[in-house]
Structure formats: C-alpha cells, structure tokens
Amino acid sequence: RKLGYAIVGLGGYGLGRIIPQFQNCQHSRLVALVSGDPAKARKVAQEYGVPERGIYSYSDFDRIRDNPDIDIVYICLPVFMHAEYTIRAAQAGKHVMCEKPMAINPAECEQMIAACRKAGKKLMIGYRSRFEPHNVEAIRLARAGAIGNLRYFRSEHGFVVGDANTWRMKKAQSGGGSMMDIGIYALQAARYMTGEEPVAVFAKETTNRSDPRFREVEDMIDFQLEFPSGAIGSCMSMYSANRNQFVLMGDKGRIELEPATAYSGQRMWVGQERSDKTEVKPPPGPYANQWVGQLDHMAQCVMQNREPLVPGEEGLRDIRIIEAVYRSAREQKRIVVQS
Ligand code: NAD
C-alpha cells in the first residue's frame, strides 16, 4: 500500500531532490503540490502524474483538508515558514514531514509538536542521513563496541555559499547562518554517533561582516560539546569552505566517514592502530537510497501507528543546542544546554 504525499515548496530540494524519488518508493506516492507559481505547479504535476485536484497555492493550502488522497504533507520551504505550514497541515488533519532545521527557535518547534499532538498526527524531521547505510552501520559499530569506549567525536561540515540575496542569508528567514543549515549535520551526527545528549557547549564564531554574504548570518562557527560520559565533540560549521566528514574515536579504534552526510558517495573506514585503517562497505539497507528510506519510513510509521525514528522532539533538541551554541559564541562562555 502507498500513502499520498503533498510536497510544499517546489524549490531546489523539494523539486530537485524529493519529488524524483517517489518512483523508487514502495509505500509512498506523490499526490499533491503546493506552490506560489501556478504555471510551474502545472508543469511539475504533468511531469509526475499529479492530478489537477492535487494542485494548491499557499493561500488555498488549507483546502488540503478535503483531499483524502493526501496522508502526509512534506514541508520543503525556507525555515521561517516551517512552523506555520506544519501547524496548518496538522490542523487540516494531515501527518507532517518537515525539513531541517526544524524551525527558527525552540518555541516554534514546541508549537509544531503541540499542534501535531493535538491533531493526533505524526511529525518527522527530514534527517535523511539516519537512513543512509554508512551512517546506519557506523552507529551499529559504535554501539556494538567496535572501537571501545567513545572518547572524541570530530566533524567539519561546510559548503561555499554564493548568492548573498537568498533566504539563507537573511537571519529572519533562516534563523542563522551555516550552523542552522549545514553545521546541524555535524551536531546531529555527534548525537547519533555517541548516543548521548550534550550537557554543555562552548562556541567561537568567525565571520567577515564586510563580506556581503555575511551581513546578517554567521560564516564559521567552531563548537565543542560536552557529553555526560566524558566524551567530547569538536565541530566546525562553515559557509566558506567545502567539507563533509566525521571521525568517532574510542579507546580501541576509530570510525571515519567522508563524505559523511552528503547526497551520495559516502565512504567509511575503521582503524584500530594509529595509522592503519580499513575501508568498510556497509550492508545494503532496506531502501533504494536515503530519501526513499525517509519517505517510506514515515509512510510505514503512519500505517503501523509507530513513532518515527526522527520525530519533532529530535528536531527540537538540535534547535535547543544550536541556541546554546549561538549564545556561547555571543557571550564567549560555556553554556549549559537546557534539556
Ligand atoms: P529553495 O530556496 O531552493 O526553495 C524554497 C522554496 O520555497 C521555493 O520554491 C520558493 O518559491 C518557496 N517559497 C515560498 N514562499 C517563499 C518565501 N516567502 N521566500 C522564499 N521562498 C519561498 O530552498 P531549498 O534549498 O529547497 O530549501 C528548502 C528547505 O529544505 C529548507 O528548510 C532547507 O534547509 C531544506 N533542505 C534540506 C536539505 C537536506 O539535504 N535535507 C537540502 C537542501 C535544503
């Protein structure tokens, strides 16, 4: 059986990455589009076989309530619109998949969780790496004790932003700079690789404010995470260099991924001694790729009334930690994370 998805926002990610994946899904199908551009929506609908009755604009979005084909609404909009459209979708009686970062601040995340709970609907955040086989295998190895007691997680995540005029560069629309957009992958990985929640953070920001791209949002932010076991995380988030890797070190070895959370091409090595390391190929996962995994997992959770692997509460945890990272960088001191 396949559940119906409505995609909200036909931008780079929604149209470029998510929509083409439905053809590979076993439990998900594309039934509706929400766009501010009727001509584009009609063209995409034709290409992907979405019926006329499945085309909506932002102003008539709430009519999705009357469309029984739509089970799940997938929010692929700029961050400042995530809360509004998640809440409206829940009120229309639909389950919600929302892109990362979940929202501008923790208060919005809490409102999204409350709206879905009140409506009795599921909420999942688009953390696709949790369905990527190298990441899944790295977590399994770490939990199985393959590298002993975990001591240190290190990650660098960044890409070079070009356009100074997009919503990503406007603080009110993005919630922040590289940390919200790409540093969040390092933060997520620090949490899922250690299996621990940070108790405190310490961060330092470096941004050239005369660069027109960085008038409002940060470029580089270097953040340390203290975990309850004594393990530490050390992460760098950047909007001015391309990098995508993490290393998890234990007292008996280490696990390296590079690229770690990219769209494709992941590679993984496990090392025991100081210099040697062996490439490890993970077993193929149950899904064709990470996007299919994400879409079909949510559909299966709805069908079987199970909690998604990455529910709203998971998105909220990251946003709370990011808030502490920003505060630490601003106040130049260690900040205890509110749990
Ligand atoms: P984008 O700018 O390419 O697309 C945004 C879409 O929202 C566009 O279709 C735009 O027309 C629409 N929109 C509607 N109202 C708007 C408004 N007021 N201002 C600006 N745009 C408006 O952005 P994107 O890269 O597709 O990102 C969308 C979401 O997906 C973001 O939350 C982003 O963080 C997330 N994303 C996730 C991944 C991932 O790998 N999980 C990758 C890229 C983006």
18 has a pLDDT exceeding 80: yes
User: What pLDDT shows up at residue 198?
Assistant: 98
User: What pLDDT shows up at residue 32?
Assistant: 98
As a whole number of angstroms, the distance between CA 309 and CA 298 comes to 9
Quick check: CB of 159 below 6 Å from ligand 1? no
As a whole number of angstroms, the distance between CA 145 and CA 21 comes to 35
Of 243, 268, 246, 238, give the one whose Cα is nearest residue 193: 246
**pTM: predicted TM-score of the whole model, two decimal places:** 0.98
Q: Whose CA is nearest to atom 5 of ligand 1?
A: 11
Confidence of residue 61 (pLDDT cuts 50, 70, 90): very high
50 has a pLDDT exceeding 90: yes
Which position among 185, 192, 239, 326 bears the catalytic label? 185
Whether residue 295 is contained in a domain is answered as no
Of 216, 220, 209, give the one whose Cα is nearest residue 179: 220
The rounded percent of the chain whose pLDDT value lies above 70 is 100
ipTM greater than 0.90: yes
Quick check: CB of 12 below 6 Å from ligand 1? yes
H-type alpha helices, the chain:
12-13, 38-48, 82-91, 106-119, 133-143, 171-174, 178, 184-194, 290-304, 312-331
Atom of ligand 1 nearest to the CA of 37: 11
Quick check: CB of 315 below 6 Å from ligand 1? no
My answer on whether 56 and 141 are in the same domain is no
Q: Among the three residues 90, 125, 160, which one is the final residue of a domain in this structure?
A: 125
CATH label of the domain that carries residue 146: 3.30.360.10
Quickly count: other Cβ atoms within 10 Å of residue 105's Cβ. Answer: 15
My answer on whether 191 and 330 are in the same domain is yes
Quickly count: other Cβ atoms within 10 Å of residue 331's Cβ. Answer: 10
Confidence of residue 275 (pLDDT cuts 50, 70, 90): confident
273 has a pLDDT exceeding 80: no
The rounded percent of the chain whose pLDDT value lies above 90 is 98
305 has a pLDDT exceeding 80: yes
The region, left, alpha or beta by phi > 0 then psi within -120 to 50, assigned to residue 184 is alpha
As a whole number of angstroms, the distance between CA 219 and CA 107 comes to 25
My answer on whether 61 and 150 are in the same domain is no
Whether residue 133 is contained in a domain is answered as yes
Confidence of residue 274 (pLDDT cuts 50, 70, 90): confident
pLDDT averaged over the chain?
97
Residue pLDDT, tens place only, 82-119: 999 999 999 999 999 999 999 999 999 999 999 999 99
Query: What's the gap in Å between 255 CA and the centre of ligand 1?
Result: 32
Establish whether 100 is a catalytic residue. yes
Whether residue 264 is contained in a domain is answered as yes
Whether residue 311 is contained in a domain is answered as no
47 has a pLDDT exceeding 90: yes
71 has a pLDDT exceeding 90: yes
At residue 84, what is the residue type? E
User: What pLDDT shows up at residue 272?
Assistant: 87
CATH label of the domain that carries residue 44: 3.40.50.720
- Written as six digits, the tokens of 103 are 């929202």
Contact status, residue 311 vs residue 122, Cβ threshold 8 Å: yes
Count the residues in the chain. Answer: 339
As a whole number of angstroms, the distance between CA 4 and CA 2 comes to 7
- Residues whose CB falls within 8 Å of the CB of residue 210, separated by 6 or more in sequence, listed in order: none
My answer on whether 134 and 108 are in the same domain is no
My answer on whether 243 and 323 are in the same domain is yes
My answer on whether 174 and 99 are in the same domain is no
- Which domain covers residue 93, as residue numbers? 3-125
Q: Among the three residues 98, 125, 152, which one is the final residue of a domain in this structure?
A: 125
Q: Among the three residues 125, 143, 159, which one is the final residue of a domain in this structure?
A: 125
Quick check: CB of 14 below 6 Å from ligand 1? yes
My answer on whether 155 and 254 are in the same domain is yes
**Dihedrals phi, psi of 240, to nearest 5 degrees:** -135, 20
280 has a pLDDT exceeding 80: yes
Whether residue 69 is contained in a domain is answered as yes
My answer on whether 163 and 265 are in the same domain is yes
Q: Reply yes or no: is the peptide bond before residue 51 cis, omega within 30 of 0.
A: no
- Number of structural domains (the chain) is 2
My answer on whether 81 and 138 are in the same domain is no
My answer on whether 95 and 171 are in the same domain is no
Confidence of residue 327 (pLDDT cuts 50, 70, 90): very high
As a whole number of angstroms, the distance between CA 103 and CA 90 comes to 16
- Written as six digits, the tokens of 112 are 């999204």
- Written as six digits, the tokens of 286 are 């149950």
Residue pLDDT, tens place only, 167-220: 999 999 999 999 999 999 999 999 999 999 999 999 999 999 999 999 999 999
My answer on whether 325 and 181 are in the same domain is yes
Q: At what angle do helices 82-91 and 106-119 cross, to 10 degrees?
A: 10
My answer on whether 29 and 102 are in the same domain is yes
Query: What's the gap in Å between 293 CA and the centre of ligand 1?
Result: 21
User: What pLDDT shows up at residue 339?
Assistant: 73
Quickly count: other Cβ atoms within 10 Å of residue 61's Cβ. Answer: 18
